[in-house]
Amino acid sequence: MNRLRSGFGKLAVPFSVQLLCVFWTFIVVVPILWTLVSSSRRTLDFFLNPIGMPSTHVNYMKAWVNGNVALYFKNSIIITTISVPLIVLLSAMASFGLSRLKFRGRVALLLLFVGGLFLPTVLLITPLFLMLNSLSILGSWTGLIPVYLAFSFPFTVFVLVPFFNAIPADLEEAAFIDGASYYYIFWHLALPLAKPGLIVATVFNVFGIWNEFVLAHVLLTNPRLITLPVGLANEVMKQQYAADYGVIFAIVVMAAAPVAFLYIFFQRRLQGGLMAGALKE
């Protein structure tokens, strides 16, 4: 990997590629900055001067109190906090078994997990709705969280299996010689060595569940339990004829801020984890 990095460092980047990167940065950064500025402006300012500077700082308070963002925020945090550890832990167990245990049908089972990546969410909305309704858990987190687990398993297993494959077999054999069981090897050997993959899986699952809209919109019928993306959509629909644009932009900023800070905090580990899963020494 070090040789690969040093090789890339000697490559000259063409001017056209540099220009393309500058252009791409511009079209990505400008909307983000405009959203941040717009979140501190009054509705009238959007018509008088669409690209003006901030003029008020009460939009965030209005969004937090009047827009029920505090409730939606709490719901999203609870659902994400419960779902992501379960997804990563159960997927790690499955990935370890598919990677290190030799049994008949192992490859077919792995392909079955990967095949779940190709199932469109909208195709399963109606069966899920009817099934959860028949189990009397429709409209509750008890029904939504298992659905999140099921939809997240294929991707998480697909991410984690290469990390468990990269663990040297000599370490596992040495542990067996010392009398270790598969249970001990998983908790004390495999999980610590697969830490970069666990970080990658955790961050991507947080992104996915925090921003998920379709399943939460259909399966959560109780307005007191809806998540932040659904709450944002509801607030936009409420204000479609008398919109307070500054408040709407403030809700968007508050919804995006947690995952943005999470990515910034784990950026280096995330990039290192992706490289570790793609390359072997």
Q: Is residue 29 part of a domain?
A: no
Q: Is residue 195 part of a domain?
A: yes
DSSP 8-state class, residue 116:
G
CATH of the domain at 204: 1.10.3720.10
Whether pLDDT at 7 is above 50: no
Lowest mean per-residue pLDDT among 50-59, 122-131, 242-251, 269-278: 269-278
| Pairwise CA distance, residues 179 & 48, whole Å | 76
Q: Is residue 97 part of a domain?
A: yes
* Nearest CA-CA partner of 216 in 63, 116, 83: 83
> Model-level pTM?
0.82
What region does 257 belong to: left with phi over 0, alpha with psi -120 to 50, or beta? alpha
Q: Is residue 115 part of a domain?
A: yes
Q: Is residue 43 part of a domain?
A: no
Chain segment 204-255, per-residue pLDDT in tens: 999 999 999 999 999 998 889 999 999 888 877 776 666 778 888 888 888 8
Instruction: Give me 62's structure tokens.
Output: 């209005």
Calculate the CA 160 to chain-centre distance.
15
Domain span at 172: 59-278
Q: Is residue 23 part of a domain?
A: no
Q: Structural domain tally of the chain?
A: 1
Calculate the CA 219 to chain-centre distance.
19
Q: Is residue 20 part of a domain?
A: no
Listed as own residue / partner, the contacts of 30-35 with beta carbons closer than 8 Å and 24 or more positions apart are: 35/249, 35/252, 35/253
* Confidence at 144, pLDDT banded by 50, 70, 90: very high
